Amino acid sequence: MRRLPATLLALSMIASAAAHAEERDTLGFGIILTNDVYGDGSERQRTGALQTSYIWGSAWQSSVPAQFGNILEMRVGLESRSPDYLQRPADDGRRYAGSTTHCAHTHFQHGAVEMAQGADLVFTGSDTGLVKLPQVVHEICGDPKPSEATLDHQSGNDMHPAFVFGVGPNLHWGESYPPRSFAEESTGSETLVQAGFDHTFGRLGIGRLQGRDTATGHRYRNIDNGAEEGVSFLLGAAVAQVANSIYVPERRGLDLTGSRDRIRAGVHWQGDAASAFFGMTWPGPEFESPSEEQITGSVRVNFRF
């Protein structure tokens, strides 16, 4: 709870800026669903996540405004982390952890540098109710459900205030969209600093506000601006230095890798009345373990009425 004052300060700054902003409207909505079943077909490690974003602001002019607090993003995220074997978790492996995240962020820019700043509240433990989801899904599919040992040793109920700050240049030259580097610092349930890049092959995405999925690092659209049709391909990578993580507790004898990397690729399609995204992520290990590498898949489908 030592981070609570900083989190409350960030929330108060965003609220104060919003109070002095012009009348604001709903500008967009974004959602991305991730599951390892879409990737390597397993159910382990970072097994599933859902992230949604609601955007409010006075207007959207195809770029992030200079005013702090003009664009507000309210984000809700759900994520499940699982041991390699739901029925017989290894003593030296990950324990089951469900988490919900509630965020208030603002997007602004200084010159050609786009910034995002905000505060999160992360809730963990059985009180989130997320442990019931794999039980229901497994029962419907006829798969083995998490054992009592898995449920008894899941992460405890707690609240983790967090602060997030990210920067990245927002550049494009004519018809080209160069690789976009970024850096982000976050505290809370995990304390880390990461840096990486995103590259879009195609024009889809230019002039749109995009959020970053916490579970995979994929950027997903929150504001559409324009109705061009076509296909874009995306490639990205990031490396993070991790100081601590409640999902890898030292008291269980787990050793953080310290450096955590991930590579991702995806394709975005835009049609006349619908759009879709599918991406793959290759996350590096989060702790020293003989576990096999993992591949997760992410999807987003949107219909225009």
Look at residue 225 and tell me whether its pLDDT is greater than 70: no
pLDDT digits (tens, 9 = 90+) for 232-266: 899 999 999 999 888 887 766 678 887 889 999 99
Query: 40: how many CB neighbours lie within 10 A of its CB?
Result: 16
The mean per-residue pLDDT over the stretch 119-130 comes to 86
Instruction: Measure the CA–CA gap between 273 and 302, rounded to whole angstroms.
Output: 9
Phi, psi of 202 (to 5 degrees): 130, 170
Instruction: Measure the CA–CA gap between 67 and 283, rounded to whole angstroms.
Output: 35
Q: Which band of pLDDT confidence, cut at 50, 70 and 90, is reported for residue 204?
A: confident
Per-chain mean pLDDT for the chain: 80
The predicted model scores a pTM of 0.84
Q: What percent of the chain has pLDDT over 70?
A: 75
Instruction: Measure the CA–CA gap between 7 and 11, rounded to whole angstroms.
Output: 6
Q: What percent of the chain has pLDDT over 90?
A: 30
Closest C-alpha among 161, 174, 203, 222 to residue 11: 161
pLDDT at 122: 92
Collapsing DSSP states into helix, strand and coil, what is residue 210? strand
The mean per-residue pLDDT over the stretch 207-213 comes to 86
Query: What is the distance in angstroms between the CA of the first residue and the CA of the last residue of the chain?
Result: 45
Domain boundaries, the chain: 4-303
pLDDT at 261: 92
Q: How far is CA 272 from CA 175, 205, 229, 275, 303, in A?
A: 21, 16, 7, 8, 9
Calculate Rg over the CA atoms of the chain: 19
pLDDT at 277: 93
Q: Which band of pLDDT confidence, cut at 50, 70 and 90, is reported for residue 89?
A: low
pLDDT at 210: 87
Show the tokens assigned to 58. Answer: 């006075």
Least confident residue range of 111-115, 130-134, 238-242? 130-134
Closest C-alpha among 83, 88, 14 to residue 47: 83
pLDDT digits (tens, 9 = 90+) for 141-170: 555 666 677 777 777 788 999 899 999 887
Collapsing DSSP states into helix, strand and coil, what is residue 76? strand
Which parts of the chain are beta strand (E)?
Answer: 25-35, 45-57, 71-82, 97-110, 113-124, 158-169, 180-186, 190-201, 210-212, 219-221, 230-245, 259-270, 274-283, 296-303
Q: Which has the higher per-residue pLDDT, 273 or 66? A: 66
Is residue 144 within 8 A of residue 30, CB to CB? The reply is no
Look at residue 125 and tell me whether its pLDDT is greater than 60: yes
pLDDT at 123: 92
pLDDT digits (tens, 9 = 90+) for 5-33: 555 555 555 555 555 555 778 888 999 99
pLDDT at 249: 75
pLDDT at 279: 95
β 230-245/71-82 pair status: unpaired
What's the CATH number of domain 4-303, 2.40.128.140, 3.40.30.10, 1.20.1560.10, 3.40.50.880? 2.40.128.140
